[in-house]
Amino acid sequence: MMRNRIAELVQSSLHAALSAQELCTTQLPAVIIGTPASPEHGDFSCNIAMQMAKGERKAPRQVAEILIRRLGNGNGLLKKTEIAGPGFINFFVSAGAWQASLLEIESQGDAFGRTSSGGGKKVQVEFVSANPTGPLHIGHGRGAAIGDTLCRILDASGWDVTREFYYNDAGAQISNLALSVQSRCLGIEPDDPRWPADGYQGEYIKDVARAYLARETVEASDQHTVAAGDPNDLDAIRGFAVAWLRREQDLDLAAFDVRFDVYTLESGLYTEGRVEAVVGKLIANGHTYEQDGALWLKTTDFGDDKDRVMRKADGGYTYFVPDVAYHQAKWERGFTRVINEQGADHHSTITRVRAGLQALDIGIPKGWPEYVLHQMVTVMRGGEEVKISKRAGSYVTLRDLIDEVGRDATRFFFIMRKPDAQLVFDIDLAKQQTNENPVYYVQYAHARICSIFENAAEKGFRAPVNPAASDLELLTTAEELQLIKMMNALPDTIDDCAVHFEPHRLTYYLTELAGCFHSFYNKNRVISDDAVLTSARLYLLKRTAQTLRNALAILGISAPERM
């Protein structure tokens, strides 16, 4: 918000200097407004003078001096402007401009923080995409939190977002699932020699088998299945098990407040002939060869370290081939921008999928799709790692965490580290109601403000609506101005999160904003004998609560009024 106003001011001064022939550059560089490392160097900075110096045949500081003369005080926006180092322009925003910005925050209401930088362009985000072979585990949970929050951030920054879940409902793992459920239907236990070698042993397999034998009707996302109940019908068992577990995953995601617009089944790519069509296209384009009874793709032509098998000697396709067909379908659906959020263990597929798409020669650019990879999660309780779930057996489920620490804490903890950093999820910390718990620290700031409003109302004070500028001029302490500056940073933070695919930046922002509030509250009396100052500070806190609430909503986290 404030950053954009500074950028517009610089643009105006550039054009004014050009009109006056003080500058001559016709190809103007983009005006990029940054934030100085130290507050002593101002609120914002710009390196435009250094970018233009060569073309102007002037020293950067000379260019900066010309621009500063044209800037003036920006109609009250600027307190002062300085030249630093080789030619940086540092901007100090006036207290009046900061104070007046609170009125703009109020006017935007729930939309404050949202921007139009995405321009309404389409973007498709695929995330979670778990195999329907069991409950969602904590790795899926982190992917769900990152992917969902990234979608919310992209939406908040003006993109037209489509959320998509891709089900790998074909291949060896699904066959193992069907055999496991069938064994349970036949009364075979995992310790029985007849149990499938790679069978799934979690308690949930019993639940699937029990539901199948009871002829339960299953609805999952976008399909309906009625089980026949015959323990010898492996195809019926396979279809039922996939649908039953898809429904379970849907329930897990609903409990996590994660939704999708589109569900795509890998099996559909085969039945629709998309996989065969892609293979035929790659052969026709001359990017394949036969060797040792297998069909290979020349992925080395597109940057891979070695060629990759597409069709094995037994006739089955390797896992990246349907992925190429799936992404071709995304491209044909008009998504010129696609982001895949996946676990870091999928890193090896990126080059292969991109190579396959390039080899199709249908206009897909290099580097498409884009990827966000998250690292693994370690769950700790009492200083020891938690490794298994009673229900899933071999791993901790997403539902385990939600049930134990709540949705808000689970989402916040999953998001609060950079995706490519490993995450330690401390259950004990997530359950603490102290300032050591980061989500509690942020939510408590909102609840504390609400408590202040209740106390003020009891004493006859309420936050004003659209107060006079002269009343806001009373907000002059360092803590008050810092709180206002932090509020103004929300739109820029949202845009930065969207550009860099880093939702964790928003958790940092919230923690810092909550810290600014707590610092203000500890050093400034809100309700006092000075009715005008009390009113101004209540208004300041009203806008603080609004900003906290808006930012938390983008994270999919509640803003409680009592804690």
How many angstroms separate the CA atoms of 404 and 440, rounded? 15
How many angstroms separate the CA atoms of 153 and 480, rounded? 27
Confidence (pLDDT) at 389: 77
pTM greater than the 0.85 cutoff: yes
Question: Is position 445 within any domain?
Answer: yes
Q: What is the CATH number of the domain that holds 492?
A: 1.10.730.10
SS3 218: strand
Residue pair 242/132 in contact by the 8 Å Cβ criterion: yes
Question: Is position 71 within any domain?
Answer: yes
Q: Which residue shows structure tokens 């769950």?
A: 379
Confidence (pLDDT) at 200: 93
Question: Which two three-digit tokens encode residue 467?
Answer: 């107060």
Question: Is position 497 within any domain?
Answer: yes
Residue pair 271/256 in contact by the 8 Å Cβ criterion: no
Q: Which residue shows structure tokens 């250094």?
A: 50
Question: Is position 312 within any domain?
Answer: no
Question: Is position 239 within any domain?
Answer: no
Tens of pLDDT, residue by residue over 391-425, are: 777 889 999 999 999 999 999 999 999 999 999 99
Question: Is position 76 within any domain?
Answer: yes
Tens of pLDDT, residue by residue over 337-365, are: 999 999 998 888 899 999 999 999 999 99
467 phi and psi angles, rounded to 5 deg? -70, 165
Residue 374, pLDDT > 70, answer: yes
Question: Is position 79 within any domain?
Answer: yes
Confidence (pLDDT) at 216: 80
Q: What is the CATH number of the domain that holds 14?
A: 3.30.1360.70
Domain boundary among 41, 75, 93: 93
How many angstroms separate the CA atoms of 531 and 46, rounded? 41
Tens of pLDDT, residue by residue over 211-248, are: 999 888 776 555 555 556 789 999 999 999 999 999 99
Among 371, 370, 388, CA closest to 379: 388
Domain boundary among 32, 61, 93: 93
**Domain residue limits at 519:** 434-554
Residue pair 419/372 in contact by the 8 Å Cβ criterion: yes
Question: Is position 142 within any domain?
Answer: no
Instruction: Provide the domain count of the chain.
Output: 2
Mean pLDDT rounded to a whole number for the chain: 94
SS3 215: coil
Tens of pLDDT, residue by residue over 472-507, are: 999 999 999 999 999 999 999 999 999 999 999 999
Domain boundary among 93, 120, 139: 93
Residue by residue, DSSP assigns 408-421 as HHHHHHHHSS-TTS
Residue 155, pLDDT > 60, answer: yes
Tens of pLDDT, residue by residue over 266-298, are: 999 999 999 999 999 999 999 999 999 999 999
Confidence (pLDDT) at 228: 62
Omega before 369 cis (within 30°)? yes
Question: Which two three-digit tokens encode residue 259?
Answer: 């939704």
Q: Using H for helix, E for strand and C for coil, what is the string for 119-168?
A: CCCEEEEECCCCCCCCCCEHHHHHHHHHHHHHHHHHHHCCCEEEEEEEEC
